[in-house]
Amino acid sequence: MIRHSEISDQDVRRGIKALHIQFGGNSQLQIYGTLGCQSGKRMRRKNRVFFASAQAAIEAGYRPCGNCMKEAYKKWTGSRIL
């Protein structure tokens, strides 16, 4: 997990190009999603984190975004015992 507040925007672009950054997340809400998600674009920089993979986000305790990752979110909600 990489915190956006700890790296420059140029480092973010390099990480995306090198495929070290493929997903973004909100550290307050514990949600991750695609980098193009409209919900993710609105979050504050201090709350934004990046992941190399969906598996890394899940292992860090994050859940899929219901907006940009509908199928993964449905699986996540279906796997939870209510």
pLDDT in tens, 13-69: 999 999 999 999 999 999 999 999 988 888 999 999 999 999 999 999 999 999 999
Paired with 49 in beta bridges are 3, 25
CATH ID of 2-79, from 3.40.50.720, 3.40.10.10, 3.40.630.30, 3.20.20.70: 3.40.10.10
Contact 3/49 with Cβ under 8 angstroms? Answer: yes
Domain segments of the chain: what residues?
2-79
Q: Where does residue 50 fall: left (phi above 0), alpha (psi -120 to 50 degrees), or beta otherwise?
A: beta
Torsion of CA 45, 65, 35, 3, to 10 degrees: 40
> Both ends of the chain: CA-CA distance in Å?
29
Question: What does pTM read for this prediction?
Answer: 0.87
